[in-house]
């Protein structure tokens, strides 16, 4: 179980680092990496395609991280006590009495202690 968890943690860390790089490379005002590669002369095709790619890559990496986290929880979770089947309890058999006899049990009352 430990190696599976470690594998998922490594994949989640790599995806997180890539997601950070993608978000940092984007600039909401049209600059950033898309502005560097696209320039102002080819703004009609280059920048739009770069922005679309980076947006899709950001959403994809976010989805990958969510799926990896859910898979790691499902595959490495230990079953809890409520899901484990409890062992069957064996009860002692009730004492058998002859028919027509009195089944009541009387307990002696202790005498009060003298002072």
How many structural domains is the chain composed of? 1
Q: Per residue in 35-88, pLDDT tens?
A: 555 555 445 555 567 778 888 999 999 999 999 999 999 888 876 665 556 566
pLDDT of residue 109: 74
> Is the pLDDT at 33 greater than 60, yes or no?
no
* 95 domain-assigned: no
3-state secondary structure of 2: helix
* 80 domain-assigned: no
pLDDT of residue 113: 78
* 91 domain-assigned: no
Q: What is the mean pLDDT of the chain?
A: 75
Question: What does the pLDDT average to over 79-106?
Answer: 64
Percent of the chain exceeding pLDDT 90 equals: 26
The continuous run of DSSP H or E covering 97 comes out as none
* 20 domain-assigned: yes
Phi and psi, residue 58, nearest 5° = -65, -50
Its domain, for residue 63, covers: 2-75
* 107 domain-assigned: no
* 113 domain-assigned: no
């Amino acid at each position: 179980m430990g190696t599976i968890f470690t594998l998922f943690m490594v994949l989640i860390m790599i995806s997180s680092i890539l997601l950070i790089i993608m978000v940092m490379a984007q600039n909401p005002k049209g600059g950033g990496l898309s502005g560097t590669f696209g320039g102002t002369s080819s703004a009609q095709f280059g920048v739009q395609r770069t922005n679309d790619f980076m947006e899709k890559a950001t959403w994809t990496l976010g989805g990958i991280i969510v799926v990896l986290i859910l898979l790691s929880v499902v595959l490495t979770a230990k079953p809890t006590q409520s899901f484990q089947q409890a062992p069957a309890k064996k009860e002692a058999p009730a004492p058998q009495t002859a028919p027509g006899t009195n089944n009541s049990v009387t307990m002696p009352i202790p005498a009060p202690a003298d002072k």
